[in-house]
Structure 1
Amino acid sequence: MIKKSDIETQQWNTWLAGVIDGDGYFYISKAGSAQFELTTGVEDQRMLLSIQAEIGGQVKSRAGAEAIRLRIHKKDLIINLLHRVNGHIRNPKRWPQFIMLCQHFGIHAIPAQPLTDNCCYIAGLFDADGSILISVSKASANHSILPGVQGKRTRLTHSKGYNQLTIKITSSFKDYLVEIQQALGFGSIVEQGANKLTRNPRVVYYWYCSNREHCLRWQMYINKCCLRSSKQKRMLLLAKYFEIKEKKYHLSNPTTGEFLVWQKFCTQWWF
Structure 2
Amino acid sequence: MDARDKKALYLIKHRYGGRVKQVSNANAFKYKLRHKAGLILLINDVNGFIRNPTRLLQMNKLCVKFNIQLKYPEKLSFNDGWLSGFIDSDGSIYFNESSGQVFIGISQKNRFLLEPLIDIYGGRVDILSSKIEAFKYVVYRKAELFNLIDNYFSKYPLRTEKMKRVNLIKKFYLKRVSKNNKDIIKLNEWIKFKDRWDKFHD
TM-score normalized with structure 2 length = 0.90
Match of 2:168 among 217, 220, 237: 237
Q: Find 2:111's aligned residue among 171, 174, 177.
A: 174
Is the aligned partner of 1:213 residue 2:149?
no
The residue identity in structure 2 corresponding to 1:95 is: L
The secondary structure found in structure 1 opposite 2:48 is coil
**Partner SS state of residue 224, structure 1:** coil
Counterpart residue number, 1:23 = none
Match of 1:47 in 2: 8
**Structure 1 residues 84 and 116, CA, compared in 2 at 3 Å: closer, same or farther?**
same
Distance 1:126 1:55 in 2: 22
Range 216-225 or range 71-80, more displaced: 216-225
Partner of 2:26: 65
Distance 2:181 2:127 in 1: 36
Per the alignment, do residues 270 and 254 of structure 1 end up closer, same or farther by CA in structure 2, a change over 3 Å counting? farther
* 1:164 counterpart residue number: 101
Partner of 1:4: none
Aligned pairs, how many? Answer: 198
Instruction: Say yes or no: does 1:187 pair with 2:136.
Output: no
Matches of 1:251 and 1:166, distance apart in 2 = 23
Q: Determine if contact 1:87/1:111 at 8 Å carries over to the other structure.
A: yes
Cα-to-partner distance string for 1:181-237 (whole Å, 9 max, x where unaligned): 2332x1111012452xxxx3xx21111011211111221311110111010111110
Aligned residues: CA RMSD: 1.8
One-letter identity of the residue aligned with 1:266:
K
Within-5 A mapping of 1:35-114: 40-114=1-75
Structure of greater relative contact order (alpha carbons < 8 Å, 6+ residues apart): 1
Separation in 2 of the partners of 1:47 and 1:251?
Answer: 42
User: 3-state DSSP class of the match of 1:165?
Assistant: strand
Q: CA deviation at 1:251?
A: 5.1
Gaps of 5+ in 1: 1-39, 138-161
Once the two structures are superposed, residues 11-50 of structure 1 have per-residue CA deviations (whole angstroms, 9 ceiling, x without a partner) of xxxxxxxxxxxxxxxxxxxxxxxxxxxxx12121111112
Equivalent residue for 1:270?
A: 198
Aligned 1:1-40 pairs, distance under 5 A: 40=1
SS state at 2:25 partner: coil
Q: How far apart are the structure 1 equivalents of 2:183 and 2:198?
A: 19
Query: Could you tell me whether the CA contact under 8 Å between 1:251 and 1:259 is conserved in 2?
Result: no
CA–CA distance in 2 between the matches of 1:97 and 1:194? 29
Whether the 8 Å contact between 1:132 and 1:231 is mirrored in structure 2 is yes
After superposition, residues 133-152 of structure 1 pair within 5 angstroms as 133-137=94-98
TM-score by length of 1: 0.68
Give CA deviations for 1:104-147 in whole Å, capped at 9, x if unaligned. 0100000000111110010001001010011234xxxxxxxxxx
Partner in structure 2 of residue 224 of structure 1 = 155
Q: Which residue of 2 aligns with 1:259?
A: 187
Between the aligned residues of both structures, percent identity stands at 26
Would you identify which runs of 4 or more consecutive aligned residues in structure 1 move more than 3 Å?
A: 248-252
Q: Which has the larger radius of gyration?
A: 1
SS at the partner of 1:215?
Answer: helix
Closer, same or farther: CA 222–250 of 1 in aligned 2, 3 Å = farther
Query: Distance in 2 between the 1:194 and 1:69 partners?
Result: 31
Shift of 1:167: 1.0
- Answer yes or no: is the 8 Å Cα contact 2:123–2:141 preserved in 1: no
